[in-house]
């Protein structure tokens, strides 16, 4: 394909789709138990869940280096592409987008276009998939770039965590909100707005939080032909229940992907977290709210 599509490991794309569309994935780095490794290659979701559940264990993450991106860009060009579109998790949550932008300036900004998905997980992944499908159909770089950005605007992420402590430690939510939430035993439903993690609704029980999580996804999807993703960390049974409810209540599901969160995002949401990503069809205006 003349246009290659790249992303980072925090998109959590299903491996079969990565291979089918020739998507290049640049891994983030994770540090736990005194060792550092690449997400999904050296350190697994299970490694992170176990570490976060062990008293005294800390997990931290870091972005790929500009050199990592330069190597990936050159590999894609050597494989036959002449233009690249590189789509990454929110610049408000990670320095990954900035590292990709630095690398693009070294390879040539007329060659590489870098897109900020303003979100993460499959909210990034759906933009990557739409871009990759367009590239497979022969679209030029500007068109692939535009399609990715439009997909970003049509996609929403809703999620629930067992505790806000991991988000607080990682600086993804304010300390005051985390402490207050814990003191009041609040289970907030969260979403991502312009790249930031923001409380959407506060409820008192986990069961109510999951019910509201589904309702927000159902409301956003409406009766449109949507793509869905369900993510979790060490919460496979919760994820299965979410899938069953979404299939029952969302009338038109084009595709639905289920995956466990990897280390880079799992470190910030903690075990027990579950989330739903809803992507509206191309050409559809985003729903209000």
43 and 60 Cβ atoms separated by less than 8 Å: no
pLDDT for res 166: 57
Report residue 182's pLDDT band, with 50, 70 and 90 as the boundaries. low
Indicate if 120 and 209 belong to the same structural domain: no
Task: Tell me: pLDDT of 38 over 60.
Answer: yes
Report residue 82's pLDDT band, with 50, 70 and 90 as the boundaries. very high
pLDDT digits (tens, 9 = 90+) for 206-227: 899 999 999 999 999 999 999 9
Indicate if 102 and 15 belong to the same structural domain: yes
Indicate if 178 and 199 belong to the same structural domain: yes
pLDDT for res 155: 96
Indicate if 178 and 138 belong to the same structural domain: no
Task: Tell me: pLDDT of 181 over 90.
Answer: no
Largest CA distance in the chain: 56
Report residue 283's pLDDT band, with 50, 70 and 90 as the boundaries. confident
Task: Tell me: pLDDT of 175 over 50.
Answer: no
Percentage of residues in the chain having pLDDT higher than 90: 63
Q: Let me know if residue 80 belongs to a domain.
A: yes
Indicate if 148 and 192 belong to the same structural domain: no
pLDDT for res 96: 96
pLDDT for res 130: 97
Task: Tell me: pLDDT of 277 over 50.
Answer: yes
- The residue that leads in pLDDT, 67 or 191, is 67
Indicate if 208 and 137 belong to the same structural domain: no
Task: Read off the CATH number of the domain in which 131 is found.
Answer: 3.40.50.10170
Q: How far is CA 13 from CA 10, 19, 20, 33, 172, in A?
A: 8, 10, 11, 26, 23
Indicate if 7 and 117 belong to the same structural domain: yes
Task: Tell me the pairing of strands 155-160 and 274-279.
Answer: antiparallel
pLDDT for res 282: 87
pLDDT for res 127: 98
pLDDT digits (tens, 9 = 90+) for 47-63: 888 887 777 677 888 99
Report residue 289's pLDDT band, with 50, 70 and 90 as the boundaries. very low
Indicate if 139 and 259 belong to the same structural domain: no
Tokens of 94: 């990670």
Indicate if 98 and 145 belong to the same structural domain: yes
Indicate if 148 and 89 belong to the same structural domain: yes
Number of independent structural domains in the chain: 2
- The residue that leads in pLDDT, 196 or 254, is 254
275 and 125 Cβ atoms separated by less than 8 Å: no
Give residue 24's domain range: 3-28+63-153
Report residue 187's pLDDT band, with 50, 70 and 90 as the boundaries. confident
pLDDT for res 180: 45
- Of 153, 170, 186, which residue sits at a domain end? 153
pLDDT digits (tens, 9 = 90+) for 118-157: 999 999 999 999 999 999 999 999 999 999 999 999 999 9
What's the average model confidence in pLDDT over 81-104?
Answer: 96
**How far apart, in whole angstroms, are the C-alpha atoms of residue 238 and residue 210?**
9
- Of 153, 170, 189, which residue sits at a domain end? 153
Task: Tell me: pLDDT of 268 over 90.
Answer: no
Give the global pTM: 0.90
pLDDT digits (tens, 9 = 90+) for 143-154: 999 999 999 999
Report residue 167's pLDDT band, with 50, 70 and 90 as the boundaries. low
- Of 153, 180, 197, which residue sits at a domain end? 153
């Amino acid at each position: 394909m003349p246009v290659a599509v790249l992303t980072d490991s925090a998109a959590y794309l299903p491996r079969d789709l990565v291979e089918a569309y020739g998507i290049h994935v640049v891994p983030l780095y994770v540090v736990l138990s005194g060792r550092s490794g690449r997400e999904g290659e050296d350190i697994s979701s299970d490694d992170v869940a176990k570490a976060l559940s062990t008293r005294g264990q800390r997990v931290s993450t870091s972005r790929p280096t500009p050199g990592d991106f330069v190597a990936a860009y050159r590999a894609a060009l050597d494989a036959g592409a002449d233009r690249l579109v590189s789509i990454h998790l929110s610049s408000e949550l990670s320095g990954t987008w900035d590292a990709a932008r630095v690398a693009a300036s070294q390879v040539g900004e007329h060659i590489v276009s870098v897109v900020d998905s303003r979100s993460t997980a499959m909210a990034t992944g759906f933009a990557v998939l739409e871009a990759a499908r367009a590239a497979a159909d022969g679209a030029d770089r500007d068109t692939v770039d535009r399609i990715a950005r439009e997909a970003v605007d049509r996609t929403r992420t809703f999620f629930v965590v067992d505790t806000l402590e991991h988000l607080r430690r990682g600086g993804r939510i304010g300390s005051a909100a985390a402490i207050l939430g814990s003191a009041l035993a609040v289970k907030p439903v969260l979403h991502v707005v312009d790249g930031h993690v923001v409380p959407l609704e506060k409820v008192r029980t986990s069961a109510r939080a999951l019910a509201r999580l589904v309702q927000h996804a159902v409301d956003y999807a409406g009766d449109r032909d949507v793509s869905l993703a369900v993510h979790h960390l060490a919460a496979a049974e919760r994820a299965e229940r979410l899938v069953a409810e979404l299939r029952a209540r969302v009338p038109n599901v084009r595709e639905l992907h289920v995956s466990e969160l990897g280390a880079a995002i799992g470190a910030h949401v903690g075990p027990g977290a579950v989330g739903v990503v809803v992507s509206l069809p191309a050409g559809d205006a985003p729903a209000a709210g």
